[in-house]
Amino acid sequence: MVGVPVASPPGGAGAPREEAPRPPPPPAPRNGTSPKQGALTIVRRSSSRNKTESCSTPTDEQLDQLDLDTEHLPAVDTPDACDKAALRLRYLLRQLNRGEISAETLQKNLQYAAKVLEAVYIDETKDRRDAEQPRAQQTTLPMRRLRTPCWARCSVEKPNEAKPAVARQQSAPTLVFRRLADEDDELSEVQPDAVPPEVREWLASTFTRQLATSKRKSDEKPKFRSVAHAIRAGIFVDRIYRRVTSTALMQFPQDVVRVLKTLDEWSFDVFALHDAASGAPVKYLGYELLNRYGMIHKFKVPPTILENFLSRIEEGYCKFHNPYHNNLHAADVAQTVHYMLCQTGLMNWLSDLEIFATLVAAIVHDFEHTGTTNNFHVMSGSDTALLYNDRAVLENHHISAAFRLMRDEECNILQNLSRDEFREFRTLVIDMVLATDMSFHFQQLKNMRSLLSLAEPTVDKSKAVSLVLHCCDISHPAKYELTPGTVPGYLFEISYFKPKCNLRRLHSG
């Protein structure tokens, strides 16, 4: 037998070795990974048992009886291969210490052990990938789809403009297609396997002939056809409800419809909407946005209640004849928030309630603005400053006045929200409107920069949408050209005429 030169163990080759008591090997954290300390442990994978076992240390008698022949070894991807490989590795170590091993036998057995470890690693990697795949799918943001605009479903033709018959025939299919596309919402995409058993039973008992009291056998599964019919019936009932409610939607004049066709663009002309809506841009734009995002249907907001609410909000913006913080500014900010939601994909990250709160906060963020600054209220000792203790005076008033308006039954757009939904909605609106205070501007930027500089930043939704609303509130210089009669003209009036009027009123009082 040809021997290979090996290094002698510590203490010399002939030094006696005492067997010290060995502590039990620590359990392997995962299959295919070795523990940090302790004796060599090979994890055995078995299809019949869920738990992993570590191979016990073989005795000298077992090692003496071992045959190093590699012809009849089990396949490398079988559970027995781990045992065989572990036993052979220990035998090879003993033979290396003794210097009684041929190079050919050593090479073949090491190759077999390496293949076994590779098979375990590949199998374990596959299991880890399969375990991580559902988590990756859960983090994927669902794509939100906006509803058909109100004016596309129920636009009003002017009485003195009669369309030709050919034009009516050409436009009819488009209108029907839009309506059907709007009705095919998320309910039609429900997969039968995603429906909980309780919901299946309720749908089957409600929309089929099956009695609710009848009990199935324990091993009998609900039929796919009955569940599919039940889901289809639920969708049909929902469509009927939508058609009934859509008949009561607010009517849009043609001039307003023409302007709202560019609602999704950054260059949306809010001044043209103000003129087309006869000075009521918040009413039409707010109604359109809440419908486009499905908030009217999702939270069961009565159309007449919503129309009353928006009309009263419009009146509040015009209460003090403010040249800048008026209803035109409110419509501009609401449209900019809509642009940020739909064009950046932000709407896919937010829930329905968070989008509802964001849109309402944008609409009411300067409600009943007096046309003066917070500092003016504080220095003049106004009743509003005394009420809110000189802290974010105007912003607190905007929030308080808006929620006080929603306590009116004819303007309560939150009447069908649950208690928890109302609390979350109110908290979000308060946080967002308070963040429009310019005294918090640099602090918000500093906090967001610090957060984004972290290795793994976690963005709080409330702070994120608050910063978005604040940016939209001061975005007008990036949207309009510096032409007379637009934003610069209003700013000049605010900076020159308004302070003089306020000072004259203060000194005369």
With 0-12 / 13-18 / 19 or more C-beta atoms within 10 angstroms meaning exposed / middle / buried, residue 86 is buried
Q: What is the DSSP string of 185-212?
A: -GGGG--GGGS-HHHHHHHHHHHSS--T
Virtual torsion, Cα 434, 435, 441, 443, nearest 10 deg: 100
DSSP-derived secondary structure letter, 30: S
Is 129's pLDDT higher than 70?
no
Assess contact for 158 and 258: CB atoms under 8 A. Answer: no
Separation in Å, CA 251 to CA 26, 157, 262, 424: 74, 10, 18, 32
Respond yes or no: is residue 325 known to be catalytic.
Answer: yes
Residue 28 pLDDT more than 70?
Answer: no
Query: Do residues 249 and 324 make contact, with C-beta atoms less than 8 angstroms apart?
Result: no
Give residue 243's pLDDT: 57
Give the residue among 495, 444, 492, 494 at the shortest CA–CA distance from 465: 444
What per-residue confidence (pLDDT) applies to 484?
53
Is the pLDDT higher at 236 or at 477?
477
Q: Specify the pLDDT at position 95.
A: 79
Tens digits of per-residue pLDDT, 149-187?
876 765 444 444 444 444 444 443 333 333 334 444 444
pLDDT digits (tens, 9 = 90+) for 67-126: 777 776 777 667 677 777 777 788 888 778 877 778 787 788 788 888 877 776 665 555
Domain positions in the chain: 43-133, 253-508
Give ∠ CA 140-145-147 in degrees, rounded to 5.
160
Q: Out of 274, 325, 398, 470, pick the active-site residue.
A: 325
Classify domain 253-508 by CATH number.
1.10.1300.10
Maximum distance among all Cα pairs of the chain, rounded to whole angstroms? 118
- Comparing 193-207, 274-288, 483-497, the range with the smallest average pLDDT is 483-497
Query: Which H helix or E strand runs over 54?
Result: strand 53-54
Which of 17-21, 163-167, 317-321 tops mean pLDDT?
Answer: 317-321
The model's pTM is: 0.57
pLDDT tens figures, 195-234: 667 666 666 666 554 544 444 444 555 555 666 666 766 6
The answer for residues whose C-beta is within 8 angstroms of residue 325's C-beta and 6 or more apart is 317, 366, 369, 371
| % the chain with pLDDT above 90 | 40
